[in-house]
Amino acid sequence: MYAQLFLGIAISAELRMHMNYSLPWKQAQITRDDSDLPQQVHFEGGNYLGFFLPDAAYSTAQLQAHAQRLLHKIAYYFPKYSKKALPIVLFPQLFIP
């Protein structure tokens, strides 16, 4: 059993609409050419888009850098999506191999 931190944003109805209409996003989901592609995760009844963080311990500056990386990816894949005040969430995920 091991845990990883997940940093992301909640998938709202508006974001889901942009995900459904974004050709670059759909292509990236199929080809997986982008090694830094945000993942969709279900957690406690909600759906989130973001990244699993590879290490267990992070400084605030490192978490902010990961948040900026996520916001950059959202801007790239969903350019018409409003990125004003997106609440970034951080939670653990437990995996049982």
SS3 88: coil
Greater pLDDT, 94 or 18? 18
Residues 5/90, Cβ–Cβ less than 8 Å: yes
Over residues 5-50, the pLDDT tens digits come to 899 999 999 999 999 999 999 999 888 777 789 999 998 999 999 9
Which residues, in sequence order, are bridge partners of residue 3? 94
Domain definitions of the chain by residue range: 2-95
pLDDT of residue 42: 92
